[in-house]
Structure 1
């Protein structure tokens, strides 16, 4: 059985764009689409937190309503999202679920049996479009499956992102799961894949003398090429592949590359400990500021 593509919905505009994007993705992949709304409606904990004037993201849609009214509203949200997805991808099998619990643990559990999770850049509790919602960031940091966060949503690019190239950010330790995911996305979309490795020459290796500045830089660039080739050594055939090394901070290089991309893919190394995935500063930055959707792919043991 094909694992579903799961979308977190809450009725906000970013989540509706996530539904559009996920419907297109499910149609490309030929997988089911599952729409999930998670909120603490109807519980004492919910009322305590939502009545304080600062609702949790994606939960306080109707402060002061009774639990039955809140559940009806939640049901209507997922029903509307399902109709929207069905209009967009009529052949995709769609299911819905309303869960009376915190969004983060609910979505993490859903992700344990999903092909991927798709989230909007922020929910109803967001403050500004540039700021990534707390739910999206927490899920992207800890999920067992790839998490796609819909960035670049100010101009509603859901219709165009499937046509742009896929950009893969290659880290210090090439992540085979992220590489495979990037190749699959490029193949399904029939677009080129650009694999990018950023490099920098540490300041202590440079000098003001013009005859001594080239060698350290050349060595670091050669190392970047080696890392890039190692990551792509098992590249499948059939995808147009572009390799690129770029001098500069990885965060800036990838953000620049996202300007005209359809999807940016980065890996997340799993570390032992209470906090699960540690996505690092690069992934954290692109999740907040990328001009296109970002896929964070965990490295599976």
Structure 2
């Protein structure tokens, strides 16, 4: 049985835009859509959903929010199977539990410009950091479409090949579902003490670092590329920090895919987001898919 795409809804316009995007995604991948309303959402986002009595009135409101979202999904694509659920719990705990049996979780983010665009709600940040499935956070500047994106490109940030296969597979599947190119990007840098006093030439001290980046790209992509022989894959190595390189690449992407290391067992608590994923979630110019990688 296909696991659903889960969308957290709260009645806000951002959540409804997430429903739009997730409906397209569900149609592309032939997946059911699960709309979830957590009744304590406002505890974490700091925005009261509505003033009013508890009990049946609150549930009536929740059901109305879900009904509106489901109807919107139906207008978007009537072929997508949609189910809804009201969960009387906090948003983070609810979505993390739903992520255990989901293909991915789709969430909206705050802001559509300026300083607000740089802010990420604590629900989105925490779920992206801890979920056991991919989490797609819709940056506020996205065009509200998973289908027919204006850039026709999925960008993959390539990290450690030994742990990054899940992110690579996810990126290939996303590009294949959209029928667009996959651009795999690896950042590289030459330590200052090696390059000091040397011109940037093909045979200079930078060359081994760039060549190693090429090798890492080839190693990381080899398995998934063999499984998708018809895929259009563009490999790109760029000098600079991974954060800056991927943020720049997001300007011309419909989706940015990054892997996040998950540490099983004791001794590893907290958000477990690396600097690259953290920067992407706060500053990328397109939706960001955070794919968990097991350490």
Q: Please indicate, yes or no, whether the TM-score normalized by the shorter chain is above 0.5.
A: yes
From 227, 240, 250, give the equivalent of 1:248: 240
SS at match of 1:196: strand
**Aligned counterparts of 2:68 and 2:206: Cα–Cα separation in 1:** 55
- 1:13 to partner: Cα distance: 1.6
Q: Residues 161 and 89 of structure 1: is their aligned pair in 2 closer, same or farther, counting only changes over 3 Å? A: closer
CA contact (8 A) 2:157 2:185 kept: yes
- 1:56 to partner: Cα distance: 2.9
**Aligned counterparts of 2:63 and 2:199: Cα–Cα separation in 1:** 68
Question: Any idea what the Cα deviations from partners look like across 1:56-114, whole Å, max 9, x if unmatched?
Answer: 31762123533332222111111100000011010011000111111001000000000
**Aligned counterparts of 2:256 and 2:99: Cα–Cα separation in 1:** 20
Q: Residues 211 and 62 of structure 1: is their aligned pair in 2 closer, same or farther, counting only changes over 3 Å? A: closer
**Aligned counterparts of 2:177 and 2:37: Cα–Cα separation in 1:** 28
**Aligned counterparts of 1:159 and 1:25: Cα–Cα separation in 2:** 9
From 191, 196, 201, give the equivalent of 1:207: 196
**Aligned counterparts of 1:66 and 1:277: Cα–Cα separation in 2:** 32
Matched, 1:238 2:230: yes
Question: Any idea what the Cα deviations from partners look like across 1:217-239, whole Å, max 9, x if unmatched?
Answer: 11110111111111011112111
The corresponding residue for 2:281 is 287
CA contact (8 A) 2:198 2:204 kept: no
- 1:40 to partner: Cα distance: 2.6
The corresponding residue for 1:44 is none
Q: Residues 161 and 31 of structure 1: is their aligned pair in 2 closer, same or farther, counting only changes over 3 Å? A: closer
CA contact (8 A) 1:3 1:32 kept: yes
Q: Which moved more, 1:162-171 or 1:110-119?
A: 162-171
- 1:278 to partner: Cα distance: 2.0
- 1:203 to partner: Cα distance: 1.6
Question: Any idea what the Cα deviations from partners look like across 1:116-161, whole Å, max 9, x if unmatched?
Answer: 00000139xxx9232011000000000000000001x24x501376
From 108, 113, 137, give the equivalent of 1:120: 108
The corresponding residue for 1:103 is 91
SS at match of 1:198: strand
The corresponding residue for 1:257 is 249
Counterparts of 1:136-151 in structure 2, within 5 Å, are 136-151=124-139
Q: Residues 172 and 74 of structure 1: is their aligned pair in 2 closer, same or farther, counting only changes over 3 Å? A: same
Counterparts of 1:175-190 in structure 2, within 5 Å, are 175-190=164-179
Matched, 1:11 2:5: no
Counterparts of 1:30-109 in structure 2, within 5 Å, are 30-40=30-40, 55-57=43-45, 60-109=48-97
Indicate the RMSD between aligned Cα atoms, in angstroms: 2.2
**Aligned counterparts of 2:52 and 2:66: Cα–Cα separation in 1:** 21
So what's the TM-score if we normalise by structure 2? 0.90
Q: Residues 211 and 275 of structure 1: is their aligned pair in 2 closer, same or farther, counting only changes over 3 Å? A: closer
**Aligned counterparts of 1:71 and 1:130: Cα–Cα separation in 2:** 33
SS at match of 2:246: helix
Structure 1 regions of 5+ residues with no counterpart?
Answer: 42-49
Between Structure 1 and Structure 2, how many residues are aligned? 284
SS at match of 1:172: coil
The corresponding residue for 2:143 is 157
So what's the TM-score if we normalise by structure 1? 0.88
The corresponding residue for 1:22 is 22
